[in-house]
Amino acid sequence: MVDKIFLSQVEIYKLRIPLIAPFITSLGRDDSAENIVVVIRTNAGISGFGECSPYMPINGESIETCFIVAQYFAKLLRGKNLLEIEDCIIAMDKFIYGNASIKSAFDMALYDIASQNASVPLYKFLGGENNKSIITDYTVSIGDPQKMAADALKIKEDRFPAIKVKLGTHGPTDVLRIKTIREAVGNEIPLRIDANQGWEVEEAIATLNALAPFAIQYCEEPISRWNFMELPRVKNASSIKIMADECCGDEHDAQRLIQLNACDLMNIKLGKSGGIFKALKMVRLAEAAKIHLQIGAFMESRLAMTAFAHFSLSSPIIQHFDFDTALMFKEDPINGGIVYEKNGTIHITNTAGLGATIEQSYLDKLEKIIV
């Protein structure tokens, strides 16, 4: 183990992978994942891998903006000790506001380097233990109630532990969607719902209370993210637990929501927080407030999902896992990393670092730039 590591070059790749079926929410439709992979090569012979999946309606980034900003970061980090992760994060934040998605890819690569240098798996580098089951739910896209019910039944038959249902286009129709799904799958399997900011405040309250008889575990982001001051009212009026998502980006958002007593749970995504460094601060806040957490994802491949799984072992307060989108890809170019079982159970290896890479022969086919 060394105490200083410097980058020799940064490779930035555009990773585009079609989905098996369209993924549809109240915010829009995705037919493919459009991600950025960052590979930091170092003078120590260690390569760090990172990935992000920018999503314009939530983090205001695209594959094109991330590709450009990544080139700035590659130049910015030249000459810096990459093991001083906090200094690297501060430098990126000072250089440009926002851009949490591409920052998370660099953050991930830095943690991969640091944990490889320490010769421990990433989860152990983060202070965690591989001592709990990580089982992802699986998501039903929003659409026709009968189609959603058929999709939900397939998820149940595949033995996933919970079904996540996208809602948020029209309250009464959303109630019909859940009623139809419950009739198809029965009452045993948990249902989780995600409105993706789709309801107005009064609509959210009415819809949530109308959904109460259907045994919903929790609802993610019922109202617009900017309207977080109304979230406590929704929470207090709802018999269904409220999980903050889009309005809970980084540690400052988490602190504000806790002070407002605005939610029962929070959903951390590294693509919102800017990466592991800030997400760990969110975990510490949640631990102090005794608020349970979900670790979620955008449309990342199994590369980033591996980082999310490692991160999930960093605290017992993290109890829910939404890592299904990598299972929706038509191809999987990742070597190593987490392994999905049929029922959504995720296994993490004890390889040093992230333990997930992409073959150079595959990367060479992608649009790229080397800095």
Active site residues: 166, 194, 220, 245, 269
CA distance 198 to 297: 19
Alpha-carbon dihedral 345, 319, 301, 162, rounded to 10 degrees: 60
CA distance 300 to 307: 10
CA distance 341 to 135: 9
The string of DSSP letters for 333-365 reads -EEES-EE-TTSEEE----SBS-EEE-HHHHTT
Look at the chain and count its residues. Answer: 371
* Beta-sheet strands, E only, within the chain: 7-25, 28-42, 47-52, 134-135, 138-140, 163-166, 191-194, 216-220, 241-244, 265-268, 292-295, 318-321, 334-336, 339-340, 345-347, 356-358, 368-370
User: Residue 256: which residues within 8 A CB-CB, separation 6 or more?
Assistant: 228, 262
